[in-house]
Amino acid sequence: MCSRGAGLRQWTVEQVELGRFPGLVWDDPPAKTMFRIPWKHAGKQDFRHDEDAAFFKAWAEYKGKYRPGERLDPAGWKTRLRCALNKSPEFEEVPTRSQLDIAEPYKVYRLVPPAEQYPVWESSG
């Protein structure tokens, strides 16, 4: 299991490998450089909270942004994870592989190799 301080990349890869979340799978096995995230809209009539928002909820719990018993916020959890993925140099969305207009929509993200990542500049002072 991931240590509490693990970053988004390590945590995400571990979740894909564990297979705990339906639809969270490698998009390119056996290379394991791209993965699918189920991306069903929370407003859809067939939205299943326990299944369709489970991965986003797990990230919120891991980051301390949700604790059991608090108000459920699947749209907020998805937004937080999407923003974290988009902000990170370690991930790149692959829209050409994503399928959003199907019964079980998903987005595909690529794990960006360290050599391709843009430098993260730290402010001094």
Lowest mean pLDDT among 47-51, 62-66, 101-105, 119-123: 119-123
Q: Distance between CA atoms of 36 and 47, rounded to whole angstroms?
A: 18
- Residue 98 predicted with pLDDT over 90: yes
Contact 60, 80 (CB under 8 A): yes
Which residue in 20, 31, 41, 34 sits closest to 85, CA to CA? 34
Amino acid at 21: F
Q: What is the pTM of this model?
A: 0.86
Q: What does the domain layout of the chain look like in residue ranges?
A: 8-116
Domain 8-116 sits in CATH at 1.10.10.10
Nearest residue to 72 (alpha-carbon basis) of 87, 57, 90: 57
One-letter amino acid at 15 equals Q
Chain segment 3-46, per-residue pLDDT in tens: 455 799 999 999 999 999 999 999 999 999 999 999 998 777 77
